Structure 1
Amino acid sequence: MSTTSGRPLRADAERSVRAILAAAERVLTEHPAASMEQIAEAAGVTRITVHRRFANRQALLDALATEAADKLARAIEDSHPETAPPLVALHRATANVLRIKGAWGFALGPAVAGSERAARRHQEIAERCTALLTRMRDEGALAADADPEWVRRVFYALIGEALHGGPTAGDPDPDALATRIVDTLLHGAGPRPGAG
């Protein structure tokens, strides 16, 4: 259950916080300098409600970053990185991450960096990713001398480019794009062995 001050929220308060955060993501994506009042209007609540839940704009941004990081962590968890076959887990995690990053791009971007809780969640995600890549190396899906931390950084870069650069940016099919990212991560752009 969400909190804004360390205490659990009632169901109606929880719904209003979620509505405010979803509205903040939409509004701030279009207008990064949008006011709390504009966010309140988009959420269908009063400005007083927003201020009751978030003391100031920074508190709202911190909550937004934390919400997005939590969604990303749940998306990774859904891929079962410790128990699923490693290539299946990597593909599922990639598709899930693309969906979350596509929907929560502002909250996961540099404009909202700074929330300590969100930073901890991102560190946990990075550690799980590195552990999955280590398992892939140990099972032969990556070269025996591959550095899992370097591979993770390349993997993150591929996801970033897929979302924000070039002709594949905004591809509506996260599963197809995940296949392309994983294939590039594992095989690069060189010719495949045995390919015509």
Structure 2
Amino acid sequence: MRADAARNLNAVLHAGARLLAKDPGTSMAAIAAAAGVDRTTVHRRFANREALLSAVFQAKLDSAERVLDEARLTEAPVPVALHRYLEGIIPVSRVWPVDTRRMMRKDPEANARRTEQSSRLDAFVQRAIDEGYLRVDVGAAWARAVLDEMVDTAAHRFPELEPPQAADLVARTFLEGVGAA
């Protein structure tokens, strides 16, 4: 792919993610305008809004998968892995603000990828409980829900926080709020 074509595709995907997160009915023309390309550029690559949305979801899943891999959730000490995960996933949530649960009803492959990623994070939370970093009485499902909500809050309600600062705040709140202290 030529460099300018790759830039255009990247711009369309990011504009699509941003606009479709706010309004799932956003027109392809509006996405093209926000991306700084003409409508034919968007339509040449994506047959319709659903095809574009599917590509956005795939890009978000790709990014989340890289974060999970780089966090080393099974090998690194729990606090280190948690911080790595947070420092990576908060920017991913900001860049790709679309909710992947919306796509799961329509795309079995995306659903399988999201389920696998979610399982990895569930196993990490259970590991944190097993190793004494989180309280046993809180339960893994509750701890995971709290973690997800804090990531969402840091990413979208506090965009001024730089990822390392946001990761520090969320990790500290998570480990002290549901921690075994």
Q: Common fold, TM-score beyond 0.5? A: yes
**Which of 86, 92, 97 in structure 1 is aligned with 2:89?**
97
In 1, the alpha carbon distance for the partners of 2:104 and 2:32 equals 22
What CA deviation, in whole Å up to 9, does each residue of 1:129-188 have, x standing for no partner? 1111222222222235553233111211222233345xxx22422222222222222222
Q: Larger % of helix: which? A: 2
Amino acid in structure 2 at the alignment position of 1:90: L
Give yes or no for the alignment of 1:127 onto 2:116. no
Contact 1:70–1:118, Cα closer than 8 Å, also in 2: no
Ranked by relative contact order (alpha carbons within 8 Å, sequence separation 6 or more), the top structure is 2
Larger radius of gyration: 1
> In the TM superposition, what is the alpha-carbon distance from 1:56 to its structure 2 partner?
0.9
Contact 1:134–1:148, Cα closer than 8 Å, also in 2: yes
Contact 2:122–2:140, Cα closer than 8 Å, also in 1: yes
Identity of aligned residues (%): 35
Contact 2:64–2:89, Cα closer than 8 Å, also in 1: yes
> In the TM superposition, what is the alpha-carbon distance from 1:113 to its structure 2 partner?
6.2
Q: For structure 2, which runs of at least 5 residues remain unmatched after alignment?
A: none
1:73-152 matches, within 5 Å, as 73-105=65-97, 107-108=98-99, 114-116=105-107, 117-144=109-136, 147-152=139-144
Q: Which position in structure 1 is the counterpart of 2:173?
A: 184
RMSD between superposed Cα atoms in Å:
3.0
Contact 2:14–2:95, Cα closer than 8 Å, also in 1: no
